[in-house]
Amino acid sequence: MKIRYLLLVMLVTSASALAAKIPMQVKKSVVFVFAKDSSSRLSPLGTGFFVLLRTNQNTDTANFGYLVTSKNVLKRIDGSFYDTVYIRINRKEGYSDTLIIPLVQKGVRRYFLHPDSTVDLAVIPAYPDLNRYDLLFIPFGMIAQMDFFKKENLGEGDEVFHIGMLSAHIGMFKNIPIVRFGKVAQLSEEKYMLGKSYTELFLVETAITPGSMGSPLYYYAPASKDTGSGTLPAKFFLTGIISGSYGEVRPERTKNDTGGLVGVVPAYKLSELLNVPGISQEREKEFTRMQNAKSK
């Protein structure tokens, strides 16, 4: 099967990265997440996206896919996790399928959480059929690592964008993601208070709706001059995952409006999660099973 994934390098020649039009294929990186309500109707929860991780053993290579979303997307209002969620995913023919995603099978939890309980992330092993679905994986190499902000000189005022669900208009026949733009508002070496705990976040000034939770947030590293070979192309990074509104609610505002400040989980927390022992051991077991099946 041919793997389709977002381009790691995109040629952008303008001085401002987001002055360029966002490539259409970027919208194919997301799916919409739902749960059944008390009337057994599907109720929108938030956004998810797929990451592809390649593992090598000797001369063999295996591809592992993971559905990534906000941990809170998978929770009921009372804080408990759903047993089952549903994802709406676009087909190549121009409409969509709704797939069942069991979060518990035979009493075993199928989702993984970051070992730091304050990190609002969850991943579920999943690998959609790319011959059927109009989907793009985010390759692991696109995930911005811990030194990303310093290395790319990214700071307050730099432009970012996220792609996700607009719960008021998800599309009748297929997912219609919305692309929303904003700027980095605050970076801090200190952790942020979220609820009753401190956690690692950075803040972005942008607009979100309830369906935005779990959305991937991207950054274009602008094209730059190289004294030796001319202009270096722009680069494309998964910078974080939308967690939700952040900050104090002003008296004159609604409870969901905090003046446009949004808490974003740094993408390197996803990198950490994908390499926790539980997930890496599962990949090793599956790799061994695949090799044994091949040898028979």
Instruction: Please tell me the predicted confidence (pLDDT) of residue 256.
Output: 46
The domain 9-279 is placed in CATH, from the list 3.40.50.1000, 2.40.10.120, 3.30.700.30, 3.40.50.150, at 2.40.10.120
pLDDT of residue 7: 45
Q: Strand 112-113 to strand 42-57: parallel, antiparallel, or no bridges (unpaired)?
A: unpaired
Q: Per residue in 115-156, pLDDT tens?
A: 999 999 999 999 999 899 999 999 999 999 999 888 888 899
H-run or E-run covering 66: strand 60-69
Query: What was the pLDDT predicted at 204?
Result: 96
Most confident of 99-113, 231-245, 248-262: 99-113
Beta strands (DSSP E) in 178-288 are: 178-186, 192-194, 197-199, 202-205, 216-221, 224-226, 230-232, 234-245, 261-266
Q: Is residue 221 over pLDDT 70?
A: no
pLDDT on residue 13: 34
Q: Tell me the average pLDDT across 263-282.
A: 92
When pLDDT is averaged across residues 65-71 and rounded to a whole number, the result is 95
pLDDT bracket for residue 2 (50, 70, 90): low
Query: What integer pLDDT is reported at residue 62 of this predicted model?
Result: 80
157: left (phi over 0), alpha (psi -120 to 50) or beta: left
Q: How many CB atoms lie within 10 A of CB 145?
A: 14
Confidence of residue 202 (pLDDT cuts 50, 70, 90): very high
User: Residue 295 has what DSSP assignment?
Assistant: H
pTM of the model: 0.85
Whether 216 shows a pLDDT value over 80: the answer reads yes
Query: Which pLDDT score is estimated for 38?
Result: 84
pLDDT band at 10 (very low <50, low <70, confident <90, very high): very low
Among the listed ranges 86-90, 113-117, 191-195, 267-271, which one has the minimum average pLDDT value?
191-195
Q: Which one has a higher pLDDT value, 281 or 261? A: 261
For residues 92 and 6, the model is more confident at 92
Average pLDDT over residues 26-48: 92
Under DSSP, the state recorded for 233 is P
pLDDT band at 11 (very low <50, low <70, confident <90, very high): very low
Q: Which residue has the higher pLDDT, 23 or 61?
A: 61
What average pLDDT score do residues 14-41 get?
75
Determine the length of the chain.
296
Whether 296 shows a pLDDT value over 50: the answer reads: yes
- List phi, psi (to 5°) of 100: -80, 130
